[in-house]
């Protein structure tokens, strides 16, 4: 989880720097805000899943995941609303580019994790 969050922050910072140097200050901070709109709710979900629960069972984990996902969705809507209401001027394309780029890091992290698990299973089968 921490690697994915760190990757999202890193991609957001790099993308913001690229937009800032290419299109100017407004595009740069818009891209950074877009990535933060993705990272902050993902951090909330990660905390919901990582915090120890009184009941260590699967049902409690599923409940935490559902609450975490609902909270993540609510935070995303809230943060986008705040950005659109409070930030002037704002460049919409870099904002959404930052959000999408940070979101793609999540999918890349899941794909890499799945690939590592499959590679581990294959090496275990070869060793038998």
Token pair for residue 112?
A: 């890499």
- The pLDDT score that the predictor gives to residue 122 is 60
Most confident of 44-48, 57-61, 113-117: 44-48
Tally of domains within the chain: 1
Does 82 fall in a domain?
yes
Does 6 fall in a domain?
yes
Tell me which residue has tokens 């809507």.
Answer: 77
Whole-angstrom Cα distance, residue 24 to residue 81? 23
- The pLDDT score that the predictor gives to residue 110 is 78
Q: Which of 15-29, 40-54, 66-80 has the lowest mean pLDDT?
A: 40-54
Does 126 fall in a domain?
no
Res. 128: pLDDT tops 60: no
Does 7 fall in a domain?
yes
pTM equals 0.83
With cut-offs at 50, 70 and 90, classify the pLDDT of residue 48.
confident
Nearest to 23 by CA among 91, 112, 82: 91
**Averaged pLDDT for residues 56-80:** 89
Does 116 fall in a domain?
no
Does 73 fall in a domain?
yes
pLDDT tens for 85-118 read: 999 999 999 999 999 999 999 888 777 776 676 7
Does 28 fall in a domain?
yes
Check: CB of residue 11 under 8 Å from CB of residue 108: no
Domain residues for the domain of 68 are 2-110
User: What integer best gives the mean pLDDT of the chain?
Assistant: 88
Does 124 fall in a domain?
no
Nearest to 96 by CA among 109, 83, 111: 83
């Amino acid at each position: 989880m921490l690697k994915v969050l760190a990757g999202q922050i890193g991609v957001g910072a790099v993308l913001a720097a690229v937009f800032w140097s290419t299109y100017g200050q407004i595009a740069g901070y818009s891209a950074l805000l877009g990535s933060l709109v993705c990272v902050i709710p993902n951090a909330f979900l990660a905390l919901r899943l990582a915090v120890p629960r009184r009941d260590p069972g699967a049902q409690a984990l599923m409940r935490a995941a559902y609450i975490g996902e609902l909270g993540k969705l609510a935070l995303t809507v809230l943060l986008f609303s705040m950005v659109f209401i409070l930030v002037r001027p704002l460049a919409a394309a870099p904002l959404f580019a930052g959000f999408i780029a940070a979101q793609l890091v999540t999918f890349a992290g899941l794909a890499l994790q799945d690939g590592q698990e499959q590679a581990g299973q294959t090496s275990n089968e070869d060793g038998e």
